Chain A
Amino acid sequence: MLDLFYQFLTNTGYYLADYRHVIMIIVGCVFLYLGTAKKYEPLLLVPIGFGILVGNIPFFKGFGLGIYESNSVLHYLYFGVTSGVYPSIVFLGLGAMTDFSSLLANPKLMLLGAAAQMGIYFTLLGALFFGFLPKEAASIAIIGGADGPTSIFLTAKLAPHLIGPIAIAAYSYMALIPVIQPPIMRLLTNRKERLIRMPSGRQVSRKERIIFPIVGVLLCCFLAPTALPLLGMLFLGNFLKECGVVNRLAGTAQSAIIDTATIFLGFTVGCSTQGDVFLTPKALGIFFLGAVAFSIATASGLIFAKIMNLFLKDKINPLLGAAGVSAVPGSAREVHLMGLKEDPTNFLLMHGMACNSSGVIGSAICAGILWSFFI
């Protein structure tokens, strides 16, 4: 009987746990705290945080329990991540939720979305500099796009063994926008620039909004066909929303479908961070490079906005450059709040959303381009 009790004890998580599991469980609790108490991107951090807890409960290998063991339930759920299914579904929902009116009213703001993608290419060079393999470097670089689903999608295609750290880094930095972006915004702009008011955009007709996803998908996907799974779904979702004849489908895409995909995406990505496979020097390098990528992306947008102002008659508020990263709507909200701090009557939210939505398109194109380099 004592033997049986001892055997049971040796099979428990308490016996099997080592320091790496404990560290990751603490990380999971921090995510849950940030998501729940601080309300930093709760839709992402709560499922990921809970996934980290579940993924770091030690178990006997070979029982078909872990996410990396074939035939386990978690493994089947994780298939949506490794195959790129969840990111595509998230993009469908994102498209159905996005209103491109502000971008259509002021198309030049799209260039800020392009400029903010420079962080991706600087980080590509940085990752190669630090000795990462080219496919790994490209996967790390896409963190600079500040787009979780895009990062997961590209990493699943190029370096599936890095999905965990890259997804955690991407979502962490998206959640930490209120901490990372404001100091860079203050550093690179002066008060006079932050006070620049943006003119309210013209009225955008329904026909324009209907035509945009068609033009967008044709132009972007002809340029980077490898971005089809992301941009095709994004523009499909947007067309469902704007055409006005399939409101039921649009409603489902922007609620039940994206919510289901987000839950499974976040949870399984969290589960994939098992301490023994996650806590490696490479993962630390990815976190460092991810922070660099995000900061350079923010700075690129800001600097490009200032350069544009040298040539434009109607100046644009350079803070909007920071919203060129595709963290929707976090970075637009930060830009708006920073603008309000300087002038409580200066509302930059809608202009920020224009840059944000162009950032989503830009980072998906970048993912397609990077993937095509290795086909």
Chain B
Amino acid sequence: MFGIDNITNNNGWAMAVVGATTVFLGLIALTLVISQIHRILDLWENRGKKLNGKKKQARSEDKHKVAAPEAKSNRLPTVSELTSIYRPLVEQLKEPFQLIQLFEKTKEMNLPHAHLSIKSLQEADILLAQGDGTFTWNKLKAN
């Protein structure tokens, strides 16, 4: 038998279509998978860094938490101690800031002696009055 009849009788059309489709789908699947291998590897290899990043973040949060109880003691901290406690708070504010904003931050962090501490920082010229009711952080003095 020859011609189209031979193709039809031997299921030729179906074999061609199924075969072509299958090889295409197979290689498309392989393409998709191999195009993702390096991304998956990146994720896997950087999982440590990401975990460390989270740990660091947690540690810095802990620092604040740790700083607060220390500052809760009846003794007023020294200026240098106050500087290290208040610097992270000031960094969260946009300069120049009003003292009320700094007070609110001290409340959030549950810091004791807020008024006395801020007064000490003012006297040490670490909090500089701008003359319009706002203040800035004197980085030179604070260092």
Contact = CB atoms under 8 A, between A and B. Distances in A.
Q: Do A and B come from one complex?
A: yes
Interface of A: 103-104, 107-108, 110-111, 113-115, 117-118, 120-122, 124-125, 128-131, 133-134, 137-138, 202, 204-205, 207-208, 211-212, 215-216, 219-220, 223-224, 358, 361-362, 365-366, 369-370, 373
A223 to B, nearest CB: 4
Contacts of A223: 22, 25-26, 29
B128 to A, nearest CB: 51
10 contacts: A103-B34, A108-B31, A113-B27, A128-B7, A131-B1, A208-B37, A215-B33, A220-B30, A223-B22, A365-B27
B20 interface: yes
B6 interface: yes
B101 to A, nearest CB: 48
B51 interface: no
Nearest to B22: A369
A110 B30 contact: yes
B11 to A, nearest CB: 8
B37 A114 contact: no
A207 B40 CA distance: 11
Nearest to B1: A131
A166 B32 CA distance: 34
A362 B15 CA distance: 16
A-side binding surface: helix, strand, loop or mixed?
Answer: helix
Given A208-B37, A212-B34, A370-B19, A128 B27 contact: no
Contact of B33 (A113, A219, A224, A369): A219
B-side binding surface: helix, strand, loop or mixed?
Answer: helix
Contacts of A211: 37, 41
A110 B25 CA distance: 11
B27 A134 contact: no
Nearest to B20: A121
A116 B143 CA distance: 69
A125 B5 CA distance: 11
B19 A121 contact: yes
A216 B26 CA distance: 10
Max chain B CB contacts within 10 Å: which of A108, A124, A366, A373? A124
Contacts of A120: 19
A316 to B, nearest CB: 14
Contacts of B1: 131
B27 A358 contact: yes
A117 B23 contact: yes
B35 interface: yes
A212 B31 CA distance: 11
A369 B19 contact: yes
Given A107-B35, A207-B41, A219-B33, A125 B26 contact: no
A114 B30 CA distance: 11
Nearest to B6: A128
A125 B7 contact: yes
Closest CB pairs A-B (n = 7): A114-B27, A121-B16, A107-B35, A131-B2, A134-B10, A128-B12, A223-B26
B31 A110 contact: yes
B20 A215 contact: no
A103 B30 CA distance: 11
B7 A373 contact: no
Given A107-B35, A111-B31, A215-B33, A124 B23 contact: no
Contact of B2 (A115, A130, A361, A370): A130
B12 A125 contact: yes
A205 B41 contact: yes
